[in-house]
Chains A and B, each alone.
Chain A
Amino acid sequence: MPLGDYKPMTADTLPLNKSGKILEILPSPLKINLMELGFLPGKKITLQHMAPSGGPMAFKMDETLLALRKSEASLIRVELI
């Protein structure tokens, strides 16, 4: 990937059906909950579904589909791949 394309973003801003590689989980009381579910740096996540009008988002990770609210997804820093 050319260096110029590197754009840090959070998972809630991923476009539908696009994937991101997790860079880090931002500090928050929910950090441990996200990590024990397997949201760890280096993992690939793909945004597969979005509930209407700002509802939850469903990410595919390791063959599982995980539902998160937008606010939780914004704790996951990713780079678009």
Chain B
Amino acid sequence: MAEATLSPITQTTKIAIIGNPNVGKSTIFNFLTGLNQKIGNYPGVTVDKKIGSLQINGENFEILDLPGTYSLFPNSEDEIIAHRVLNQTKLEQRPDYVLMVIDSSQLSRGLFLATQLIDLGINLAIILNMADLAEKRNIEIKTFELFKTLGVPILSTDARNLKGLDQVKTLISQRNFAKAPGFVDIRQVIPVQMLDQVREKFDLENAYQAYQLIRFGIKDKAIPSSDRAWIENLIKESGFNLEDAQLEETKIRYKKITELLTKALVKKAEPKPKSNLDAIFLHPILGYVIFVGILLLIFQTIFTWASYPMDLIDGLFAEISAWISGALPDGPLTRLLAEGVIPGIGGVVIFIPQIALLFGFLAILEDTGYMSRVVFLMDRWMRPFGLHGKSIVPLVSGIACAIPGVMAARNISNWKEKMITILVTPLMSCSARLPVYIILIGLTVPDEVVLGFVNLQALALLGLYLLGIFGVLITAFILKLVLKTSEKSFLLSELPPYRVPRWSDVGITMFEKAKTFVLEAGKVILAISIILWVLASYGPPSKMELIQQEGEARLENVFDETQIAVIEAETNALLLENSFIGIMGRAIEPVIKPLGYDWKIGIALITSFAAREVFVSTMATIYSIGGDLEDDLTIREKLDQQINSNTGEKTFNKATSFSLMVFYVFAMQCMSTLAVVKRETKGWKWPIIQTVYMSALAYVMAFITYQIFI
């Protein structure tokens, strides 16, 4: 032991966790890695690569959480990842060990994948999770029987109730994994000669690896094209039907598993019929009422709960800015800090409550098993619009943020349905629109309760969300007529048993999403806030100097404090109008005037193309520049005081505010979404099409709105 401490092992052991969907894989991953998680990318695909780190007795382990899959047959992008990681031809990139998680109450389905892994010759250990469910169903598993046949270590856990998880850690630290002899002999279904040829050429360990390469290698773009051509040629020459072989393998594998389970599985008694929640949640009428009710509840909760921390954050950053400009000597650096950096950071931090809450609710819906019921209920109503029942998950996620929404669309295997989902998801009102909505609703819609319980502001917010959904359906329907595909659409999914959500997992999701937002979007927002401040503080030097000099000249011989303040404010307004940003805003004013916007809003439209929430921080920057920061006016109060120089009325009157809200319902205005769509669709074609159609839609709808309310 002393040796180990003297020369610590610096090499990291790589362990991959794999399993069917809904088996508690992520609970185990979260238990092992806690908050030491990183989200990265796999090359060429858009599936999140979730990696966590774990230290046991000074040794480092890297845990890779693979997407849920039923088999090694790569039918969807998620499955391709599992397939690719485990069939990795470059040995150093392959995980050292694999931890396979199986739902104890769904043994045969889990063993289907597990025995495929065994056949691949992987260093494996099996976790029989959800022991509580098996118990409830009166199933007894003879672990030793399983072990005798499979030949890999097997552990029993109940991750949800934190039972047996320490054993998982022990198993990892002792590297208690094993390479077992094969389960199904693939030479029963594929000519031996063919397998040997492939094994030899690619230097593969066993026949099953060769089979995987023959069957799926030709579709895997990660394999050099010359090798793919070689395999294709081999298949052609043999004249062998690989699809039939795959079906045959499936049959044989399940048959052997069934034989194994007759020995290893004891059904003690028929389980008691349990209360059937699906009778309510999948009810042809009640089911939908409950779905809408749940959505309403979520939005109302977010609206009320998030407002307290948001007000606190808003006030706090206003105070910090005021304190800095009072405490530090006046100069460009102090102003950059007080007027650019601090409000910029505040503009990022203020979203954390909403984002965390939204992702928390989505995690609960997913974790309880309710989300897949929604897919079941909605499929019929999504299909006329060219969408899939599964599109409901990206669309509902889009309420939090289009980025995870667009990424969730990868679960849809049909190209056309996936494309339509990706293209319309950003029309769902995301949380980045919320601050824009909330500020504008706060300015124009009275905080009143009608009919005893309906808050008018909440009603306006709901209206905007519904408008977004309306946009989604219409656009999807048009895209359905435009896009062409020969692929067949299908729905095959499990409706997992209802469970109490794992609160620690929900918590980790909330934390991770908020962290990702702050680190990813936050960087952009902060950078833009600073650029903005520079653009707003500087302009063509000759003109700026002239204004400055004129202002100083006017201040000579004036000693009355109020008068000084008025002159200073007028000078500052002139400076802003002539700054670089003022010039840009003025340049687009003729285009946006029919929508009821002035050049200051024009500036915000330009800057918020990077991200919608920048609208708010831009407003904060624009209106705090030259203003007296010490009087602690918050953004909303400042906006309410603005007068439109064209009309002489309040800038944010009903017509303009409504027009702006409608604009933000439809406009793309998010660089990060664009980047994700580019990655998902592997090119600039679709993100450009998306931006153009959304901007045009936003312009037309905002114009109509302004004309109605003016």
Decide: A63 and B137 in contact? CB cutoff 8 A.
yes
Which B residues touch A54, using CB under 8 A? Answer: 380
B494 interfacial contact with A, CB 8 Å? yes
Residues of chain B touching chain A, judged by Cβ–Cβ distance below 8 Å, are 70-71, 73, 75, 105-106, 108-109, 112, 137, 243, 246-247, 250-251, 254, 271, 278, 282, 284-285, 372, 375-377, 379-381, 389, 488, 490-497
**A29–B488 alpha-carbon span in the complex (Å):** 9
**A67–B492 alpha-carbon span in the complex (Å):** 6
B-facing residues in A40-81 (Cβ within 8 Å): 40, 48-56, 58, 62-69, 71-72
Decide: A31 and B247 in contact? CB cutoff 8 A.
yes
Known contacts A31-B247, A49-B282, A52-B284, A64 near B494 by CB under 8 Å: yes
Decide: A65 and B379 in contact? CB cutoff 8 A.
no
Which A residues touch B70, using CB under 8 A? Answer: 36-37
**A32–B249 alpha-carbon span in the complex (Å):** 10
Q: Could you list 29 examples of A-B contacts with CB < 8 Å?
A: A29-B488, A30-B488, A30-B490, A31-B247, A36-B70, A36-B71, A36-B112, A37-B492, A38-B109, A38-B112, A49-B376, A51-B284, A51-B380, A52-B285, A55-B377, A55-B379, A56-B376, A56-B380, A56-B389, A58-B278, A58-B376, A63-B105, A63-B106, A64-B494, A65-B494, A66-B494, A67-B495, A69-B379, A72-B490
Closest to A34 in B: B492
Known contacts A30-B492, A67-B493, A56 near B71 by CB under 8 Å: no
Closest to A57 in B: B376
A35 interfacial contact with B, CB 8 Å? yes
Of the candidates A34, A35, A53, which one forms a contact with B251 in the assembled complex, judged by CB atoms under 8 Å apart? Answer: A35
Which A residues touch B105, using CB under 8 A? Answer: 63
Closest to A33 in B: B492
Residues of chain A touching chain B, judged by Cβ–Cβ distance below 8 Å, are 29-38, 40, 48-56, 58, 62-69, 71-72
Decide: A33 and B490 in contact? CB cutoff 8 A.
yes
Decide: B488 and A65 in contact? CB cutoff 8 A.
no
Decide: A36 and B250 in contact? CB cutoff 8 A.
yes
A30 CB → nearest B CB, Å: 6
**A35–B491 alpha-carbon span in the complex (Å):** 14
Decide: B492 and A35 in contact? CB cutoff 8 A.
no
Closest to A35 in B: B250
Of the candidates B243, B271, B488, which one forms a contact with A32 in the assembled complex, judged by CB atoms under 8 Å apart? Answer: B243
Name which of A48, A62, A67 has the most chain B CB atoms within 10 A of its CB: A67
**A53–B384 alpha-carbon span in the complex (Å):** 13
**A9–B247 alpha-carbon span in the complex (Å):** 22
A8 CB → nearest B CB, Å: 21
Closest to B282 in A: A49
Known contacts A51-B379, A55-B377, A62-B106, A68 near B494 by CB under 8 Å: no
Which B residues touch A66, using CB under 8 A? Answer: 492-495
A64 CB → nearest B CB, Å: 6
Decide: B488 and A49 in contact? CB cutoff 8 A.
no
B419 CB → nearest A CB, Å: 20
**A62–B110 alpha-carbon span in the complex (Å):** 13
Closest to B113 in A: A36
B186 CB → nearest A CB, Å: 16
A60 CB → nearest B CB, Å: 10
Decide: B491 and A72 in contact? CB cutoff 8 A.
yes
Of the candidates B106, B282, B380, B490, which one forms a contact with A64 in the assembled complex, judged by CB atoms under 8 Å apart? Answer: B106
Which A residues touch B380, using CB under 8 A? Answer: 51-56
Known contacts A53-B380, A72-B491, A33 near B284 by CB under 8 Å: no
Closest to B137 in A: A63
B453 CB → nearest A CB, Å: 30
**A62–B258 alpha-carbon span in the complex (Å):** 12
Name which of A36, A38, A52, A55 has the most chain B CB atoms within 10 A of its CB: A36
**A51–B382 alpha-carbon span in the complex (Å):** 13
Decide: A37 and B109 in contact? CB cutoff 8 A.
yes
**A52–B379 alpha-carbon span in the complex (Å):** 10
B565 CB → nearest A CB, Å: 66
Which A residues touch B250, using CB under 8 A? Answer: 32, 35-36
**A62–B254 alpha-carbon span in the complex (Å):** 14
Which B residues touch A50, using CB under 8 A? Answer: 284
Decide: A67 and B491 in contact? CB cutoff 8 A.
yes
Decide: B137 and A35 in contact? CB cutoff 8 A.
no
Closest to B382 in A: A55
**A5–B372 alpha-carbon span in the complex (Å):** 37
Which B residues touch A34, using CB under 8 A? Answer: 492
Chain A to chain B: the 3 pairs with minimum beta-carbon distance, closest first: A55-B380, A52-B284, A65-B495
Which B residues touch A53, using CB under 8 A? Answer: 380
**A66–B246 alpha-carbon span in the complex (Å):** 22
Which A residues touch B137, using CB under 8 A? Answer: 63
Closest to B495 in A: A65
Which A residues touch B108, using CB under 8 A? Answer: 38, 62
Decide: B247 and A56 in contact? CB cutoff 8 A.
no
Decide: B75 and A33 in contact? CB cutoff 8 A.
yes
**A23–B389 alpha-carbon span in the complex (Å):** 28
Which B residues touch A56, using CB under 8 A? Answer: 376, 379-380, 389, 491
Decide: A67 and B376 in contact? CB cutoff 8 A.
yes
Name which of B254, B278, B379, B490 has the most chain A CB atoms within 10 A of its CB: B490
Known contacts A35-B251, A36-B73, A68 near B491 by CB under 8 Å: yes
**A56–B372 alpha-carbon span in the complex (Å):** 12
Of the candidates A29, A33, A49, A67, which one forms a contact with B494 in the assembled complex, judged by CB atoms under 8 Å apart? Answer: A67
Which A residues touch B109, using CB under 8 A? Answer: 37-38, 64
Closest to A59 in B: B495
A39 CB → nearest B CB, Å: 9
A80 CB → nearest B CB, Å: 21
B241 CB → nearest A CB, Å: 12
Which A residues touch B496, using CB under 8 A? Answer: 65
